[in-house]
Amino acid sequence: MGIHLPPSFTTTGTLQILPGEIAQTTSFNLAIAERIGEIALEVYDRQSPAETRFRTIETYPPAAHWQLRARFYPQAESVNLTAADGLIVPTPTVGWVVFEKEGREFRLRVCNVGQRLRAVFSDKTTSQGVFRFRCLDIEAPDINGETVVDFNRAYLPAVAFSEHFLCAGPSIANGLNLEVEAGEKWVVGDF
């Protein structure tokens, strides 16, 4: 997804970039971000120290026991989440995904993202150095409300890569009293 611009791109007209799209050049990318009705132009310098020092993302090895059968329970509600800069962000949620692990029941509040559900969660692995919260996209439930929560696919939010991103953290309800030893852990680089 994106618009590729030639190396010596100039314009005297209009270049339209919609939220979610990226305009790419050889030295920088442009993106549009929207937050609570405010629009911002994001400029990503491909030669910035953060970009050139990045090496990899540390992950747990994939494990089948972190693919958990779950059930979706609809309950549309707006939840106030706190962004990295302290701003309270009203966020529409669509319900709960409920699953079992280690003989206990857990639930995650989820949002709709396209054809999927998304949960932003924290867990007890933060004591092992895992980033303070992670994200998880979940397949839309079937007609019976069943889906799979695959924690192997847990990924780091953008704020894990730079404090300039203003990602909202998880709701208090999405703090799992569980060590989710699956998915991405932290960013590795010469920072």
Rounded to an integer, what is the distance from CA 138 to the centroid of its chain? Answer: 12
Query: Domain residues of the chain, as ranges?
Result: 3-46, 59-185
List the structure tokens of 68: 């958990």
Q: What are phi and psi of 66, to 5 degrees?
A: -100, 5
Q: What is the pLDDT at residue 11?
A: 57
Q: Characterise 151 by phi-psi region: left (phi > 0), alpha (psi -120 to 50), beta (else).
A: alpha
* Mean pLDDT of the residues in the chain: 89
Whole-number percent of the chain with pLDDT over 90: 60
pLDDT of 191 over the 80 cut: no
* ∠ CA 18-23-28, rounded to 5°: 135
pLDDT band for position 36 (cuts 50, 70, 90): confident
Q: Tell me the pLDDT tens digit for each residue of 55-101.
A: 899 999 999 999 999 999 999 999 999 988 888 999 999 999 999 99
3-state SS of 102-161? CCEEEEEEEEEECCEEEEEEECHHHHHCCCCCEEEEEECCCCCCEEEEEHHHCECCHHHC
Q: What is the pLDDT at residue 157?
A: 93
pTM of the model: 0.82
